[in-house]
Amino acid sequence: MIDLEKAVRRFLQYVVFDTQSDPESKTCPSSPGQLTLARHLARELEEIGLADVSLDENGYVSATLPSNLGRETKTIGFIAHMDTSPDAPGKGVKPALVDYEGGEILLNRDKGIVLSPQDFPDLLEYTGQPLIVTDGTTLLGADNKAGIAAIITAMEHLGENPDLPHGEVKVAFTPDEEIGRGADRFDVAKFNADFAYTVDGGPLGELEYENFNAADGQVLIRGRSVHPGTAKNTMINSLLLAMELNSLLPVGQRPEYTENYEGFIHLYDLRGNVDETKMSYIIRDHSLDLFTRKKDALKEAVNYLNIKYGPGTVQLSLEDSYYNMKEKIEPVIEIIELAKRAMEEVGVTPKVKPIRGGTDGARLSYMGLPCPNLFTGGHNYHGRFEYIPVNSLEKAVATILKIIELNTREK
């Protein structure tokens, strides 16, 4: 019998660690709290009996559950990230376990913060189930500490039950996934798995092997600040140029107007004054052709403004971040079928869908480690209304164990 309550206890322990990543930092990991959690996880992996436990100077944790078979089978990996998003506070997380009976959940009485099915209709699907929520002032951290809890609980169960046959299993916990650096220093050769899964998905049953192609665009606009009383034919207001630049981009390709396979151009940061303004964009699309067109649209807008206002007025730095893993997963599509079968055998309906985002698995797939994405069960990531149903977290543990079991049966 799997002690699934251990996953919940672990999760409640992990979310207290402040591991918010810092996009402005040049270090790896980008924040000290990640290294604190990494040390804790390395000790825990040793305590449950895994072999080859390592923690490198960059905060990457890895370990091995040795095979107990008398024959060879494929080596599976399971990967999760330790950091939480910079989009919402990650310090002082106060998780609460509630028995959800429908309707609104009062997260914070003093501040009047409510988790409501009017805002999040999926909440009603979990009526009658226990949920883990925040106090409404921070994110929860199910992205991705639920994945860590599920992986370690599964490994502990196999270690405590040596009669359960299994092949070699690798696990790894990475820093800075939320700021796009999680795979930067991942040693694929050292990890030495035939394939892996990131346990970093959302609601129950999600299985993802298609993700956005992604690019980051940084725009610098140089204006000319003079006294507004003598500004005629002299002032160049960089803030107004920023507004003009954004107006040249297709309105229908903003994220608030897109879904499913539709990509977007997203202005996520704007700061400046008359003299100088900086803009930050992300560009996303599942189609490589449409991805290229979106990048071209931003380049053309910048070129137009430089023709209009003078060369060098607007500078653009555009860099690809990651690509759609579909190209790397389709040749080994059997690992998707393995995950689907595992879910079905533990009573979960697989929901194969494209990721409207990215995971470490996308980059790892291009580094030679095919790595689709499994659900953890969480909802409303990156915000104070994040929650996770306990039953869904427990199913994540069961799915990991079933994947290992089914892989063991393969010849």
Domain ranges across the chain: 5-210+324-409, 213-322
Our answer to whether residue 135 is catalytic in this structure is no
Cα-only R_g, the chain: 23
* Catalytic one of 18, 83, 178, 210: 83
SS3 call for 226: coil
CATH classification number, 5-210+324-409, choose in 3.40.30.10, 3.40.630.10, 3.30.420.610, 3.20.20.10: 3.40.630.10
Q: Six-digit token pair at 253?
A: 């390709």
Q: Which amino acid is at 308?
A: K
* Catalytic one of 18, 22, 177, 200: 177
Q: How far is CA 82 from the centre of its chain?
A: 10
Our answer to whether residue 83 is catalytic in this structure is yes
The candidate with the shortest Cα–Cα distance to 24, out of 186, 247, 181, is: 181
CATH number of 213-322: 3.30.70.360
Query: What is the CA angle 365-70-373, rounded to 5?
Result: 20
| pLDDT score recorded for residue 410 | 63
* CB distance 45 to 162 below 8 Å: no
* CB distance 206 to 373 below 8 Å: yes
Parallel/antiparallel/unpaired status of strands 351-352 and 96-99: unpaired
Q: Six-digit token pair at 193?
A: 């798995």
Ramachandran quadrant class, 29 (left: phi over 0; alpha: psi -120 to 50; beta: rest) = beta
Q: Six-digit token pair at 298?
A: 């931003």
Task: List the chain pLDDT tens, one digit each, 411 residues.
Answer: 778 789 999 999 999 999 999 999 999 999 999 999 999 999 999 999 999 999 999 999 999 999 999 888 999 999 999 999 999 999 999 999 999 999 999 999 999 999 999 999 999 999 999 999 999 999 999 999 999 999 999 999 999 999 999 999 999 999 999 998 999 999 999 999 999 999 999 999 999 999 999 999 999 999 999 999 999 999 999 999 999 999 999 999 999 999 999 999 999 999 999 999 999 999 999 999 999 999 999 999 999 999 999 999 999 999 998 999 999 999 999 999 999 999 999 999 999 989 888 788 999 999 999 999 999 999 999 999 999 999 999 999 999 999 999 999 765
* CB distance 43 to 31 below 8 Å: no
* CB distance 100 to 127 below 8 Å: yes
Helix, strand, coil percent content, the chain, rounded in steps of 5? 35, 25, 40
| pLDDT score recorded for residue 411 | 52
Q: Looking at residue 81, what DSSP letter applies? A: E
Provide the Cα torsion 297, 300, 301, 303; round to 10°. Answer: 160
